[in-house]
Amino acid sequence: MHPALSVIFFTVISGAGFGLYSLTAALQIFRLGPALNRVELLAMLVTAFILIIAGLLSSTGHLANPKNAWRSWMRFKTSWLSREAVFAVVFFPFAFLYLVGVFFYGAHPPAFFLWMGAVGVVLGFVTVFCTGMIYACLKTIRQWNTALVPANYLLMGLSLGALFYLAVSAYFGADLNLIGGVAGTALIATAVMKAIYYFWIAKVDGPSINTATGFTRATVRLLDVGHTAGTFLTDEFGYQVDPGTRRLLKGIVFALGFILPLILIAYALTAEHPFGLAVVALLSSLIGKGVERWLFFAEARHVVNLYHGAQHT
């Protein structure tokens, strides 16, 4: 599949925003870890809102006709894209009420605002799950049609949100032990999930040119593609990545997305001035996960490729 930069930015940044909001609200509502003051909490929540809104706005860049974006809300019963759009919008009133509670009452607002924040946490996770299901429900793309995809989206958002939380906490000089442990655990879980996903898609057991044509007793070979240049189908659904480039990029995913941030977190927990280390860990992970999301699209191959010469998907 053609990797569109607007969708890559949307899925990575909005996932990080939902992860940051969910961690911030959940840790404070259940009073886990060091208590943050009003300024620190507002900084966390406003950063989360900026990330989510920036991601959602960038998603419109992928629409052929952005003025019809409102129609994506009209197929809630049958479309994961529609569910994602609806839950993303429903999230804001609840999250905003929690923000209002923190603004007026500080770290311990009345129960009503805490309930609003808790509902926002659930809606944030549901929205990211719906984003993953947009791809996982497509049976025509073997690499996406697995429960590993929404699980990966949730863990990616949570680990990036934890790194944003770590950087903001380091800026204010807050205790980093709990969030450092959460970020490290989330990064390890995400790396393991990603490794399982790469192992799973490496096994070629999906549709082939034989099953597509119905001729299963001999090798089928396409003699003429019927066109002399690339088409919409071959450009959008048949993106090719060189195997050597693919291996190199997967190495970058693990090195920058997981290993280097883990090392930097370990140093940040004992450093006298951890802010710089936390920011570098965050930027490294953003680059690594941006590459991961590019590969996620570039490696996906639609079954239509079988009718354009591919032997399998």
**Structure confidence by residue, pLDDT tens digits, 1-59:** 888 888 899 999 999 999 999 999 999 988 887 778 899 999 999 999 999 999 988 88
Q: What is the pLDDT of residue 174?
A: 86
Burial 147-184 (b: 16+ CB within 10 A, else e): ebbbbbbbbbbbbbbbbbbbbbbbeeebebeebbebbb
pLDDT above 90 covers what percent of the chain? Answer: 62
Q: Given a cut of 90, is residue 83 above it in pLDDT?
A: yes
Largest CA distance in the chain: 73
* pLDDT, tens only, 212-248: 888 878 788 777 777 777 777 777 787 778 889 989 9
Residue 230, C-beta contacts closer than 8 angstroms, at least 6 positions apart: none
Residue by residue, DSSP assigns 102-125 as: HHHHTTS--HHHHHHHHHHHHHHH
Residue 14: its H or E element: helix 5-29
In this prediction, residue 211 carries a pLDDT of: 80
- Is 80 exceeded by the pLDDT of residue 193? yes
Q: What percent of the chain has pLDDT over 70?
A: 99
Average pLDDT of the residues in 88-114: 93
Alpha-carbon torsion, ordered 276, 279, 284, 289, to 10 deg: 170
Task: Judge whether residue 71 has pLDDT over 80.
Answer: no
CB atoms < 10 A from the CB of 17, how many? 26
Closest to 38 measured CA to CA, from 104, 94, 92:
104
Give the Cα separation of 298 and 151 in Å (integer): 19
Q: Quickly state the pLDDT bin for 168 (edges 50, 70, 90).
A: very high
What local confidence, expressed as pLDDT, does residue 259 receive? Answer: 96
Chain-wide mean pLDDT for the chain? 89
Amino acid at 144: W
Check residue 287 and give its pLDDT: 96
Q: Pick from 139, 162, 132: which is nearest to 18 by CA?
A: 162
pLDDT of residue 73: 78
- Give the pLDDT mean for 80-90: 92
3-state secondary structure of 217: coil
Which residue type is seen at 2?
Answer: H
Please compute Rg for the chain using Cα positions.
Answer: 22
Q: How confident is the model at residue 120 (pLDDT cuts 50, 70, 90)?
A: very high
